[in-house]
Structure 1
Amino acid sequence: MRVNEKIRNISFWIVDFVSGGKIRRHYLDIKDSIENPSKKPIIDKQSKFLQDVLNHAVTSTVFYKDIIPENLENFPVVNKEIVRSSYQKIQSQKHKNSKKIGVSTSGSTGASFTVYQDINKKTRNTADIIYFSELCGFNIGYKLFYLRFWNMFKKKNKLASFFQNITPIDVFDLSSDSIKDLVNVLKNDKSNKGMLGYASSFDKICKYLDTINSTPIHCKLRSVIGMSERLDPLTKKSMKKYFDVDMVSRYSNAENGMIAQQPSQKEYFIINWASYYVEILDFNNDTRVTPGTFGRIVITDLFNYDTPMIRYDTGDIGIMNYIEDDNITRLVLTKVEGRKMDMIRSTSGEILSTSILLVINKYKEVKQRQIIQKTADQYLIKLKTENNVFEKENEFIKEFKEYLGEDALIKLEYVSEIPLLNSGKQRAIINEFSA
């Protein structure tokens, strides 16, 4: 660490110590839980966290008051719409007059809504982020280039930005010129640094570097985390090529926090069992699926006592399975595929993995893409190519029929740009058909 980085790091922990050391205690608990998942004291502690929040929900909310809390499966599965419409009943009566923090979803794929978190939950989430950031090479004190749609979020005040060392980058300003300026800033900045932002933003940066035939950029970039969108493995390879950094994907949401993250050079996600209980449920009912099977990602937040989020359907789908890593057996997310409404089906009705997007990567002429399912057998694929020319159009459609079905009706539309959502995110797959 450089001197100014050490000062920021030490200052952060001194402030926490003077305030009672709450972040440090949470951090050590998370570290112990994630690194020793099979030890009985850890398992017992996590079981207690779960039981405590279930008991709290039953004794302090109108929504859950008639439920027997001994078994998580006695609780109903809720989603964003249920939480929004029943918020007064779900919010803890014991915490109504307590200090709390409001966190809001962006509403990228529906109406936004706000969830309130008690101060202990907010502290826990801070500790979650610190620990998982360290796992991929980012330490407190390093400079963080944060790519998001900043107009939708309250920017840090100048004092907070100084101590947290954050440089905000607005994704709506990622033109070729602004990317060129950003790369120059990275080159000239001598500090250790990390980048955090929407996965599609890094794809755009890499595509720009491809177009100028850039050589590797040496800039002390220690950590890159993609969030909010599926991270294309090709983008990870490109970030390694240009910045010599192992990019990872983080699975989180605004209403809960840091749920899972990829380890460096791995494709699976370590689940944050320290702070959440995660289930994978069937698409058609609320029963748990067997390991290795696609289903809905449903989480129980172990620390939000202001608004108990129990069996909350995130709207995402994935696969959970056991892996062996460093002589530790872990239950991890082997796939996180994004929102169910952003999944497409073949003409036979089979849900297709978003890995189908990788098929497009081999066509170097394609700069941007978006797949839209219109009906059971009709698909619109929007492509951005140089001068709207794509000589391999017939080969492209033929290959996609191998995945979508030989009877698939595929239309290509050439566009100048795939527009970003109001949140600054980019939807690569859209399903307008309800199967």
Structure 2
Amino acid sequence: MKKVFFTFNINRALERLRNLSYKLLDLLHGVRVKRHYDDLKFMMQNYADPKVEQKRNEYLDAILQHAVSNCSYFKEYENYDSVADFPVTNRNIIADNFSDFLASTYKNKKNHKVATSGSTGVPFETLHNKQKCLRHNAEVIYLGERANFTFGQKLIYFKLWPEMRSKSWIRNTCHYSVLGLEGAGIDAMMSDIKKDCRTGLLGYSSAFERICKHLDKTNVKPLNQCNVNSIIAMSERLNDYTKKAVKKYFKTTIVSRYSTMELGIMAQEEIDKVGYFKINSGTFYIEIFDMNEDAPVANGTYGRIIVTDLFNYAVPLIRYDTGDVGQLEMVENSEGIKEPFLVNVEGRKLDLILNTKGEILPSQISSYMAKYGDFKQFQFVQCGEKEYILKLNTDKKVEREEELIAEYKSVLGDDASVRIEYVDGIPLLGSGKKKEVENTYLSSLSKHPSTLETSLQTPQHEHRQLNHDVHE
């Protein structure tokens, strides 16, 4: 008992030392991160404050003025009245016209290159200027704190690591590749967690699902609450099974983070508001557009997530179509003041599932399969206008196949053709991510944009109604 207590105190002391060391390094460099941290914290905690509203408007106008003055792509919009006068951009447009988006004042400066693999869409590279990088560091620290993570404590990070990462004493990060996340590795990780006083977990949602399924299989006892105090899922939809299993084994509420490599952390789920993502309004201006037209929609309407980055001056991302879809809703924050939250955040537009009427359904529809068996893997695929496949990797066939199909038809439509396909495995994407839903039908239509537009219809009914107990 004394040994455990001694180890606990040593680890806590090292946490504080790491945190202090980082602050001292920042102090030596002019407290650049702290300035951004204080600014971001004030803006996100005081959304309705007139000073904050003024600051948001100033940041927005500054990036717009910079873009029309220094980026040839935006020159023709120099007489703009507001952001509404600017066009919608996306990865393809920027990649095809990169030199026109690169600000002339930053061409010869030392910028940081960021790249996405394109595993769920189009590969993309862009540049971040120094202030954008500092802002990102600040949002990682602050939004980590909102999920109970303190910089300096141990962080276990699950994703696809293409090469061995060097360890940083200050960051105190341990990297686990999702490709090698198997039984023995999970057991070793759990053993390490038990030795630490406080640990934060960050990674793909499917990594946490795989860990929990292994713990189910091996009948592992839940950890003490002090072992893990922060768990953040990213990059993939967090299903209902994983939420409940993580809470059971780690005694901690898992939250989802909405982020991309090219932008940063745009929103993060609140611990006390399941399914509601607090927007990083100090760094981004977010709009929701119609599924088929470049026009804003009313709050509460499902549509494309369009983002303006207020801090990337090297390659301004203005009205940037993320390729994702969701809704904005005015919701009371912890202070009782209404502010916009992102809800029903889904993945790529081309991986949406449509019912037989062409209405969009939430990707949580795949979770219906969970109650019909203990599957190693499952995937829901729409392969035609009214054709769907349930792919199951399992040791035994589903006993209630007809009931399973009937439940899906009740949501998809009575005229839906639903079949079950038993498979030996469902490969991960090149990035190591898991695709729980896939729409090969929409992907094929994307080659004919006019046909795709007529196929996507925003449902008029309340979207959250379909999510019931598996609401994201």
Q: TM-score, normalised by structure 1?
A: 0.96
Alpha-carbon offset, residue 233 of structure 1:
2.8
Given candidates 260, 264, 268, the residue that maps to 1:257 is: 264
Determine if the alignment matches structure 1 residue 351 to structure 2 residue 357. no
For 1:3-402, what aligned pairs fall within 5 Å after superposition?
3-67=13-77, 68-151=79-162, 156-158=165-167, 161-187=168-194, 189-218=195-224, 220-266=227-273, 267-326=275-334, 327-385=336-394, 387-402=395-410
2:450 corresponds in structure 1 to none
**Are the aligned partners of 1:261 and 1:269 in contact in 2 as well (CA < 8 Å)?**
yes
**Are the aligned partners of 2:372 and 2:398 in contact in 1 as well (CA < 8 Å)?**
no
For the residues of structure 1 that align with 2:80 and 2:65, how far apart are their CA atoms? 6
Determine if the alignment matches structure 1 residue 430 to structure 2 residue 430. no
**Are the aligned partners of 2:301 and 2:328 in contact in 1 as well (CA < 8 Å)?**
yes
**Are the aligned partners of 1:51 and 1:69 in contact in 2 as well (CA < 8 Å)?**
no
- Alpha-carbon displacement from aligned partner over 1:194-225 (angstroms, at most 9, x marks no partner): 01000111011111111122221226111010
For the residues of structure 2 that align with 1:361 and 1:37, how far apart are their CA atoms? 39
For the residues of structure 1 that align with 2:184 and 2:399, how far apart are their CA atoms? 29
Matched letter for residue 354 of structure 1: S
SS in 2 for 1:262: strand
Matched letter for residue 53 of structure 2: I
Alpha-carbon offset, residue 238 of structure 1:
1.0
Alpha-carbon offset, residue 155 of structure 1:
5.5
**Are the aligned partners of 1:377 and 1:409 in contact in 2 as well (CA < 8 Å)?**
yes
For the residues of structure 1 that align with 2:85 and 2:234, how far apart are their CA atoms? 32
> Percent same amino acid at aligned positions?
40
Moved more, 124-133 or 170-179: 170-179
Quick one: structure 1 residues 405 and 346, their matched pair in 2 at CA, closer, same or farther if it must change by over 3 Å? Answer: same
- Alpha-carbon displacement from aligned partner over 1:230-279 (angstroms, at most 9, x marks no partner): 11132111111101011100000000101000111422000000000000
- Alpha-carbon displacement from aligned partner over 1:276-335 (angstroms, at most 9, x marks no partner): 000000011111111111000000000000000000000000010101133121110122
Moved more, 208-217 or 123-132: 208-217
SS in 2 for 1:230: coil
For the residues of structure 2 that align with 1:180 and 1:155, how far apart are their CA atoms? 20
Alpha-carbon offset, residue 156 of structure 1:
4.3
- Alpha-carbon displacement from aligned partner over 1:35-92 (angstroms, at most 9, x marks no partner): 0000000000000000000000000011000103331111110111111111110110
**Are the aligned partners of 2:159 and 2:432 in contact in 1 as well (CA < 8 Å)?**
yes
For the residues of structure 1 that align with 2:301 and 2:347, how far apart are their CA atoms? 15
SS in 2 for 1:138: coil
For the residues of structure 2 that align with 1:181 and 1:289, how far apart are their CA atoms? 49
The number of residue pairs the alignment matches comes to: 429
- Alpha-carbon displacement from aligned partner over 1:376-428 (angstroms, at most 9, x marks no partner): 0111111122x242111111111110111111111211122221101010111
Quick one: structure 1 residues 22 and 69, their matched pair in 2 at CA, closer, same or farther if it must change by over 3 Å? Answer: farther
Alpha-carbon offset, residue 27 of structure 1:
0.3
For the residues of structure 2 that align with 1:365 and 1:157, how far apart are their CA atoms? 38
Quick one: structure 1 residues 186 and 416, their matched pair in 2 at CA, closer, same or farther if it must change by over 3 Å? Answer: farther
For the residues of structure 2 that align with 1:146 and 1:101, how far apart are their CA atoms? 22
**Are the aligned partners of 1:92 and 1:307 in contact in 2 as well (CA < 8 Å)?**
yes
Structure 1 residues not aligned, in runs of 5+: none
Question: C-alpha root-mean-square deviation of aligned residues, in Å?
Answer: 1.3
**Are the aligned partners of 2:72 and 2:101 in contact in 1 as well (CA < 8 Å)?**
yes
For the residues of structure 1 that align with 2:358 and 2:434, how far apart are their CA atoms? 25
Alpha-carbon offset, residue 344 of structure 1:
1.0
For the residues of structure 2 that align with 1:284 and 1:260, how far apart are their CA atoms? 24
**Are the aligned partners of 1:55 and 1:69 in contact in 2 as well (CA < 8 Å)?**
no
For the residues of structure 2 that align with 1:256 and 1:15, how far apart are their CA atoms? 25
**Are the aligned partners of 2:206 and 2:433 in contact in 1 as well (CA < 8 Å)?**
yes
